[in-house]
Structure 1
């Protein structure tokens, strides 16, 4: 089957999650397909208010009309599980680019404010994930520096 004609909306959720969010929506949605890991493309003909409603369905995870402008979702960061990704989304860190911008220590402190029981393993996971390493590969020296940075005001 040929890809239907229409505009593209790239979103930071899997195709199955995009379909779930769009269930019963209609308004010009033609097809949902994969656009990479934890990313989908919604092919649509929505305009005006319907386009705004469509975009609102994905405002919490990020969307773009061009694939290049869509930053990789936080779920794609190495070492993170679903709970950690949810905690980061709660403090409005939704993409890896946002995490890079604010850094792992500030991200950890923001999560710790909302989730007091979170352990230092999250800090290790964030820092190592940005280095594309397994969190267990961080040296004791790196962990000490990160721990000290979280204690500074």
Structure 2
């Protein structure tokens, strides 16, 4: 299934600096920023490059208890949308891709 196109809203409200830049994204707070930092994800640009599923993969591989809601939060943070307001199509795509990624990570363990 192809990934639905998000409606991007550029929110340049993020303070500069590693943790501040990530924590300022909508849906992501200080605790998530700390998890991301520990997993080697320090900037918005890295989150954009990895995408929500790649971010979740990194967190799972670093031992964090991540579920599909993290993918919703990251997708919403990048698009400037509250995670619960993502379209049904986007949520379905994220659920499918998250399940695929999680199965792959578990097979490799």
Normalised to the residue count of structure 1, the TM-score between the two structures is 0.51
Gaps of 5+ in 1: 1-35, 41-60, 63-71
Question: What is the total number of aligned residue pairs between the two structures?
Answer: 89
2:15 and 2:21 in contact (8 A); partners too: yes
Q: CA RMSD in A?
A: 2.3
Tell me whether 1:103 sits opposite 2:51 in the alignment: yes
Counterpart residue number, 1:80: 28
Asked if the contact 2:14–2:24 (Cα under 8 Å) also holds between the matched residues in 1, the reply is: yes
User: In the alignment, does 2:46 pair up with 1:92?
Assistant: no
**RCO higher in 1 or 2 (8 Å CA, sep ≥ 6)?**
2
| Cα drift, residue 86 of structure 1 | 0.9
Q: Which has the higher strand share?
A: 1
Following superposition, which runs of at least 4 residues in structure 1 exceed 3 angstroms of deviation?
Answer: 36-40
Name the structure where helix makes up a greater proportion of residues: 2
**CA apart distance, 1:116:** 4.2
- Which structure 2 residues correspond to residues 119-134 of structure 1 after superposition, within 5 A? 119-134=67-82
Kept after mapping to 1: 8 A contact 2:68/2:94: no
